[in-house]
């Protein structure tokens, strides 16, 4: 791929004022995650995280394929220290640490790194024709971007190991039944549904949304007592925001609140 084409491996646009969207743009490689694509996705996540006017991010691969895994051509001759020096884990971390909600809009294949990318998001909207899988075992390796850890937390030990050990994908209805997919819709309604979901979240108070995401994710790996304490402290902190006053006043006044993230 030419340098100019690789620079456009991810297209970023703003379909609605508070929503930023990243679209993987390597159709000739089924949106395989090249280094430039990974770097662009990390930059996208940092932008969602830091820009005041953005409240939700959407990651998609377009109407045909989400992402069919890592770029095997760039990995086949790699040695352990070469992989270490690439620092790919830091690029994934930028997505994982985004404080604002991220939605994966999935059509077609979400395999390997593509499945891991979807699982890095907070919500997954999938078309009925989508397929999810972690086929790394078929090429002699294993997932390395959270596939074993995030999948087992999402669907449980036995279902996760079925995917991990066989490398065989599951269809979107099965993924929804297992709890991996948030919304299952017709293929041509994926982006519309993702935008609707993003719009709903964007209308909520941003600080409350940020705290909910932080507590839900952090608390999942804590003892219940510690998670409850974290929840309680965060809820108390929100009473120091203008949005709390606005939200409760609007409720009593029977009007729509105007949340400003303050």
What are 61-95's pLDDT values in tens digits? 999 999 998 766 667 667 777 767 777 889 999 99
List, for residues 199-233, the tens digit of each pLDDT value.
999 999 999 999 999 999 999 999 999 999 999 99
Q: How confident is the model at residue 53 (pLDDT cuts 50, 70, 90)?
A: very high
Q: Which of 42, 70, 104, 110 is catalytic?
A: 70
Q: How confident is the model at residue 3 (pLDDT cuts 50, 70, 90)?
A: very low
Q: Note if 5 is an active site residue.
A: no
pLDDT above 80 (res 39): yes
Query: Which residues partner with 13 through β-bridges?
Result: 21
Q: How confident is the model at residue 7 (pLDDT cuts 50, 70, 90)?
A: low
Q: Which of 9, 45, 118, 136 is catalytic?
A: 136
Task: Provide the pLDDT for residue 70.
Answer: 72
- What fold does the segment set 206-253 form as a domain? Lyase 2-enoyl-coa Hydratase; Chain  A, domain 2 (1.10.12)
DSSP string, the chain: --HHHHHTSEEEEEEETTEEEEEE--GGGTT-B-HHHHHHHHHHHHHHHH-TT--EEEEE--SS-SB--B-GGGTTT--HHHHHHHTHHHHHHHHHT-SS-EEEEE-SEEETHHHHHHHHSSEEEEETT-EEE-GGGGGT----SSHHHHHHHHH-HHHHHHHHHH---EEHHHHHHHT--SEEE-GGGHHHHHHHHHHHHHTS-HHHHHHHHHHHHHHTTS-HHHHHHHHHHHHHHGGGSHHHHHHHHHHHHTS-------
Task: Provide the pLDDT for residue 5.
Answer: 46
Q: Which CATH superfamily is domain 3-202 in?
A: 2-enoyl-CoA Hydratase; Chain A, domain 1 (3.90.226.10)
Q: Which of 61, 69, 108, 113 is catalytic?
A: 113
| Mean pLDDT computed over 10-27 | 96
User: Which residues 6+ apart lie within 8 Å of 224 measured at CB?
Assistant: none
Q: Note if 136 is an active site residue.
A: yes
pLDDT above 50 (res 22): yes
Listing from the earlier edge strand, what are the strands of the sheet with 131-133?
109-111, 131-133, 170-171
Let me know the angle formed at the C-alpha of 120 by 45 and 205, rounded to the nearest 5 degrees.
60
Q: Spell out a b/e string for 59-94, using b for 16 or more CB atoms within 10 Å of the CB, else e.
A: bbbbeebbbbbbbeeeeeeeeeeeeeeeebeebbbb
In this structure, the number of other CB atoms found within 10 A of the CB of residue 50 comes to 11
Task: Provide the pLDDT for residue 46.
Answer: 97
| Mean pLDDT computed over 143-151 | 93
Q: Note if 214 is an active site residue.
A: no
| Mean pLDDT computed over 234-257 | 95
| Mean pLDDT computed over 95-101 | 97
| Mean pLDDT computed over 127-154 | 94
CA 61 – CA 31 distance, rounded (Å):
7
Lowest mean pLDDT among 50-64, 66-80, 150-164, 193-207: 66-80
pLDDT above 60 (res 2): no
In this structure, the number of other CB atoms found within 10 A of the CB of residue 108 comes to 24
Q: Which of 40, 42, 114, 116 is catalytic?
A: 116
Q: Note if 116 is an active site residue.
A: yes
| Domain ranges, ordered by start, for the chain | 3-202, 206-253
Task: Provide the pLDDT for residue 1.
Answer: 40
- Percent of the chain at pLDDT > 90 equals 84
pLDDT above 50 (res 105): yes
User: Which residues 6+ apart lie within 8 Å of 20 measured at CB?
Assistant: 12, 13, 14, 44, 47, 48, 51, 54, 56, 57, 58
């Amino acid at each position: 791929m030419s340098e100019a084409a690789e620079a456009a491996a991810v297209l970023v646009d703003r379909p609605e004022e508070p929503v930023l969207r990243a679209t993987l743009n390597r159709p000739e490689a089924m949106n395989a995650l090249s280094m430039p694509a990974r770097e662009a996705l990390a930059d996208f996540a940092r932008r969602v995280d830091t820009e005041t006017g953005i409240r939700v991010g959407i990651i998609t691969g377009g109407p045909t394929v989400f992402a069919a895994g890592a770029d095997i051509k760039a990995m086949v001759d790699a040695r352990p220290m070469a992989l270490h020096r690439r620092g790919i884990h830091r690029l994934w971390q930028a997505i994982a640490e985004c404080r604002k909600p991220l939605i994966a809009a999935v059509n077609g294949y979400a395999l390997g790194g593509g499945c891991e990318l979807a699982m890095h998001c907070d919500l997954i909207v999938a078309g009925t024709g989508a397929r999810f899988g972690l086929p790394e075992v078929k090429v002699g390796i294993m997932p390395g971007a959270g596939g074993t850890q995030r999948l087992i937390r999402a669907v449980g030990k036995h279902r996760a190991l079925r995917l991990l050990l066989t490398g065989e994908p599951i269809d979107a209805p099965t993924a929804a039944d297992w709890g991996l997919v948030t919304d299952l819709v017709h293929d041509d309604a994926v982006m519309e549904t993702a935008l609707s979901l993003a719009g709903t979240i964007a209308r909520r108070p941003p600080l409350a949304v940020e705290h909910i995401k932080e507590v839900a994710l952090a608390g999942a790996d804590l003892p219940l007592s510690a998670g409850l304490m974290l929840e309680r402290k965060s809820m108390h902190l929100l009473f120091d925001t203008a949005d709390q006053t606005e939200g409760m006043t609007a409720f009593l006044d029977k009007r729509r609140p105007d949340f400003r993230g303050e």
